[in-house]
Structure 1
Amino acid sequence: MLLTSSSSSSLVQLPPLKSLKISSPFLNGSSSIHHLKKPFSSFTQSKPSPPSFLPPIQAMRSMQGRVICTASDKTVKVEVVRLAPHPKYQRRVRIKKKYQAHDPENQFKVGDIVQLDKCKPISKTKAFIAVAVPPRNRPKPKEVVPSQDLGLPLESQQVE
Structure 2
Amino acid sequence: MSLLHLQLPLSQFKSLSLSTPFLHGTSSAILTKPSTANHHRHRHTYLPPIRAMRSLQGRVICTTNDKTVNVEVTRLAPHPKYKRRVRKKKKFQAHDPENQFQIGDLVQLEKCKPISKKKTFLAIPVPKRTAAKPKESQDLGLSLESDSASPV
TM-score interval, normalised by the smaller of the two chains = 0.5 to 0.7
Q: Which has the larger radius of gyration?
A: 1
Per-residue deviation, residues 88-144 of structure 1 (Å, max 9, x unmatched)? 4433222111100011111111111111111111222111111111223x4546768
Q: Write out the 4+ residue segments of structure 1 that deviate beyond 6 Å after TM superposition.
A: 142-147
Q: 1:82 deviation in Å?
A: 0.8
The one-letter code of the counterpart of 2:94 is A
Q: Using a 3 Å threshold, how does the CA distance of structure 1 residues 145 and 122 change in structure 2: closer, same or farther? A: same
Query: Residue by residue, what CA displacement relative to the aligned partner does 1:60-110 show, whole Å, maximum 9, x if unpaired?
Result: x11111111001011000010111123344332221111000111111111
What's the secondary structure of 2:23's corresponding residue? coil
TM-score, with length taken from structure 2 = 0.56
Superposition CA RMSD, Å: 3.6
Match of 1:90 in 2: 83
1:6-45 superposed matches below 5 A: 32=14, 34=17, 38=23
User: How far, CA to CA, are the matches of 1:107 and 1:64 in structure 2?
Assistant: 17
Partners of 1:113 and 1:37 lie apart in 2 by 52
Tell me the CA shift for residue 158 of structure 1: 6.8
Q: Give the aligned partner of residue 118 of structure 2.
A: 125
Distance 1:57 1:144, change over 3 A: farther
**Per residue, is there more helix in 1 or in 2?**
2
Residue aligning to 1:10: none
Q: Distance in 1 between matches of 2:22 and 2:127?
A: 59
Q: Percent identity?
A: 57
Letter in 1 for 2:115: I
Taking structure 1 as the reference length, the TM-score comes to 0.54
Gap regions ≥5 residues in structure 2: 1-12, 25-49
Q: Which consecutive residues of structure 1, in runs of 5 or more, have no partner in the other structure?
A: 1-30, 40-55
Distance 1:158 1:89 in 2: 61
Give 1:154 deviation, angstroms: 3.4
Distance of 1:123 and 1:70 partners within structure 2:
17
The CA distance in 1 between the partners of 2:68 and 2:91, in whole Å, is: 13
1:114 and 2:104 correspond: no
Say yes or no: does 1:104 pair with 2:97: yes
| Number of aligned residue pairs | 110
Aligned residue number for residue 66 of structure 1: 59
